[in-house]
Amino acid sequence: TQLLEQSPQFLSIQEGENLTVYCNSSSVFSSLQWYRQEPGEGPVLLVTVVTGGEVKKLKRLTFQFGDARKDSSLHITAAQPGDTGLYLCAGASGGGADGLTFGKGTHLIIQP
């Protein structure tokens, strides 16, 4: 069974601060995805990384896939209250047709 360990579980910081969320596994994934989920809604895809060492940027969010394709990180620069939410990492194997393995999520609160 593949597992994804996500840390931290909870994070509360002030507006303007930087933060990093980590997603680690002992398994290799063909791709890794990051989602953001707001209360009462389904997860929404933020980014997919597929190549070891790949870095993708989405405005103030930077996503990195580890060289060995076993881990990933999400870095937010100058966090804003609108970034508040549950962040989930998920790994796919063999194209992902047989489903994703999810981390347990990071609950992020950005205080104004």
Partner 1 sequence: NAGVTQTPKFQVLKTGQSMTLQCAQDMNHNSMYWYRQDPGMGLRLIYYSASEGTTDKGEVPNGYNVSRLNKREFSLRLESAAPSQTSVYFCASSEWEGRVFFGPGTRLTVL
- Binding residues for partner 1, rule: CB under 8 A, are 1, 30-31, 33, 35, 40-45, 48, 50, 88, 90, 92, 95-100, 102-105
> CA–CA separation, 22 vs 89, rounded Å?
9
Sheet holding 19-24, edge to edge: 5-7, 19-24, 71-76, 61-65, 55-58
> CA–CA separation, 53 vs 68, rounded Å?
8
Least separation, in Å, of the C-beta of 69 and partner 1? Answer: 13
Please say which residue, 3 or 55, places its beta carbon nearer to partner 1: 3
Please say which residue, 5 or 17, places its beta carbon nearer to partner 1: 5
Please say which residue, 19 or 102, places its beta carbon nearer to partner 1: 102
Least separation, in Å, of the C-beta of 19 and partner 1? Answer: 20
Question: How many CA within 13 A on the CB side of residue 109?
Answer: 6
Least separation, in Å, of the C-beta of 87 and partner 1? Answer: 12
Query: Residue 48: beta bridge partners?
Result: 33
